[in-house]
């Protein structure tokens, strides 16, 4: 494929060589470069692709895209300079793989909480409606029944377009994906043709990257400048901002508070086995049952209902699908012990998520609430004391522990969480080892108590330093319950 065609409708400057060069592959990792490749220099947080140009050429690169002034001795190597390498990567990847997102329905879900659950609910409803689906998310990527491991909520632009192309080959009808604020800001989804954008909510998170809530909000807004239609939670104040600024043509709003919403959930009943509510849509009422407890589960269901309605699924089919399959891995997963207490595993790792889960537990808890949680290292430090306060406020006993400390000292992280716990003067303990902390929480429980183990959910690892070790909260809980 000629580079001239790939760069069509894109701004660039030729430093040396000719665009009439045949490109056999595209890479931004010099270790992956092969003969006839185009190498794009990306400036990252820890490394700069410009440092690896000579390595890329040695491995067979015939063209280099740069953002800096670069001189290369070999006159046969094409050098093209662009303003934004990430945008160029997305542009080239989209064209190289023949605009795959134009060949199926694409639904993007963004927000602080609920993305994973909403994406999975949408995918299950579509499958129940005999659609062949693709899924891109935190837990896994899927092409129909084929599961592909994932490391990021949203893959980089090149990997993403490759994945989309595989979905086209598999003849999928619809693809639903989580779209993180990082992905939007770093232009990983630039060039993707979204049919529907879904907004769940916006709460405190990722300020280590975005610095301000306004920047975080505006990163999310970008998705709604790319999609034909939108589904928006109007109970979140940011919902009105998105409605005011979106370029989407059709809007469906959802709410648990505002009767004027297109999708309104009322008469909500919650117990440990699930949630039941009445859905008002177009003047009719439908009884909806979902297998996950909590008001946040109602919001996730409403978002999924809105998205699948816009994809043409009948409301009766949607309600039927939700009643049959709405449990999401690592999201409010309930494990009952033989001695009569319950353990709940949830991915809640931001203040709002933790508060939502604990508020839900308070609605049906008969005994004490014991919370085991920690905060991740090398991430937003501002939320640590806030999460400590939330855990202590809604719990009878709090166990502060470690959760992916990465390169930070776990004790320092726990110190910062403890700042929010101490003023409430309620019982708590610090146990750095997460396995020991979970076991202590379980051993402290009696009949009718609920032990919430929060922060990791579906994750089956712990990152200590730069090493990833196996650790699965559910495995630990089930094993300890059996041994008790």
Does the annotation list 112 as a binding residue? Answer: yes
Does the annotation list 455 as a binding residue? Answer: yes
Residue 267 burial by Cβ neighbours in a 10 Å radius (0-12, 13-18, 19+): exposed
Helix (H, G, I), strand (E, B) or coil at 12: coil
Does the annotation list 444 as a binding residue? Answer: no
Does the annotation list 115 as a binding residue? Answer: yes
Does the annotation list 434 as a binding residue? Answer: no
Does the annotation list 34 as a binding residue? Answer: no
Does the annotation list 248 as a binding residue? Answer: no
Does the annotation list 9 as a binding residue? Answer: no
Instruction: Decide if 11 contacts 83 (C-beta within 8 A).
Output: yes
Does the annotation list 154 as a binding residue? Answer: yes
Does the annotation list 389 as a binding residue? Answer: no
Give the separation between CA 198 and CA 115, rounded to whole angstroms. Answer: 9
Cα–Cα distances (Å) from 379 to 163, 206, 210, 350, 386, in that order, read 28, 7, 11, 11, 14
Does the annotation list 368 as a binding residue? Answer: no
Give the separation between CA 438 and CA 451, rounded to whole angstroms. Answer: 9
Give the separation between CA 163 and CA 151, rounded to whole angstroms. Answer: 14
Does the annotation list 25 as a binding residue? Answer: no
158-173 exposure pattern, b = at least 16 Cβ within 10 A, e = fewer: bbbbbbbbbbbeeebb
Instruction: Decide if 193 contacts 105 (C-beta within 8 A).
Output: no
Does the annotation list 353 as a binding residue? Answer: no
Instruction: Decide if 87 contacts 187 (C-beta within 8 A).
Output: yes
Does the annotation list 188 as a binding residue? Answer: yes
- Listed in sequence order, the residues at least 6 apart from 430 whose beta carbon sits closer than 8 Å to its beta carbon are 399, 400, 401, 414, 418
Does the annotation list 293 as a binding residue? Answer: no
Binding site listing: 30, 111-117, 153-154, 180, 188, 379, 403-406, 455, 459
Give the annotated binding-site residues for meso-2,6-diaminopimelate. Answer: 379, 403-406, 455, 459
Which residues define the annotated binding site for ATP? Answer: 111-117
């Amino acid at each position: 494929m000629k580079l001239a065609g790939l760069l069509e409708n894109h701004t660039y400057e030729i430093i040396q060589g000719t665009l009439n060069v045949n490109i056999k592959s595209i890479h931004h990792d010099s270790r992956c470069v092969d003969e006839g490749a185009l190498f794009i220099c990306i400036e990252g947080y820890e490394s700069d692709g410009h440092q690896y140009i000579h390595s890329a050429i040695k491995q067979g690169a015939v063209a280099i895209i740069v953002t800096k002034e670069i001189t290369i001795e070999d006159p046969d190597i094409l050098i093209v300079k662009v303003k934004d390498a990430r945008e160029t990567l997305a542009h080239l990847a989209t064209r190289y793989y023949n605009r795959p997102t134009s060949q199926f329905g694409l639904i993007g879900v963004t927000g602080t909480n609920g993305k994973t659950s909403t994406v999975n609910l949408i995918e299950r409803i579509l499958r129940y409606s005999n659609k062949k689906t693709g899924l891109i998310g935190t837990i896994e990527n899927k092409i129909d029944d084929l599961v592909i491991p994932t490391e990021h909520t949203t893959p980089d632009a090149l990997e993403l377009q490759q994945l989309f192309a595989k979905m086209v080959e598999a003849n999928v009808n619809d693809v639903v994906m989580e779209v993180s604020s990082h992905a939007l800001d770093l232009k990983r989804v630039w060039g993707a043709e979204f049919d529907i954008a879904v907004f769940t909510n916006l709460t405190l998170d990722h300020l280590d990257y975005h610095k301000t809530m306004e920047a975080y909000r505006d990163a999310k807004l970008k998705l709604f400048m790319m999609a034909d239609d939108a589904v928006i939670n109007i109970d979140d104040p940011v919902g009105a901002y998105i409605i005011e600024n979106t370029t989407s043509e059709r809007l469906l709003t959802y709410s648990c508070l505002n009767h004027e919403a297109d999708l309104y959930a009322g008469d909500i009943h919650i117990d440990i086995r699930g949630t039941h509510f009445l859905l008002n849509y177009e003047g009719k009422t439908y009884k909806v049952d979902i297998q996950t407890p909590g008001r946040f589960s109602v919001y996730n269901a409403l978002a999924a209902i809105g998205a699948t309605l816009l994809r043409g699924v009948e409301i009766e089919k949607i309600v039927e699908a939700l009643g049959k399959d709405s449990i999401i891995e690592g999201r409010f997963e309930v494990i009952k012990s033989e001695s009569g207490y319950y353990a709940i595993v949830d991915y809640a790792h931001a203040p709002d998520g933790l508060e939502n889960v604990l508020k839900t537990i308070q609605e049906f808890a008969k005994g004490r609430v014991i919370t085991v949680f920690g905060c991740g290292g090398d991430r937003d430090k501002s939320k640590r004391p806030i999460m400590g306060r939330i855990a202590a406020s809604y719990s009878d006993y709090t166990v502060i522990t470690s959760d992916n400390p990465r390169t930070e000292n776990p004790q320092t992280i726990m110190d910062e969480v403890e700042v929010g716990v101490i003023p409430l003067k309620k019982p708590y303990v610090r146990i750095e080892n997460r396995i020991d902390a979970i076991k202590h929480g379980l051993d402290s429980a009696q009949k009718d108590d609920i032990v919430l183990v929060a922060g990791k959910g579906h994750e089956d690892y712990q990152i200590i330093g730069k090493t990833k070790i196996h650790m699965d909260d559910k495995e630990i809980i089930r094993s300890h319950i059996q041994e008790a």
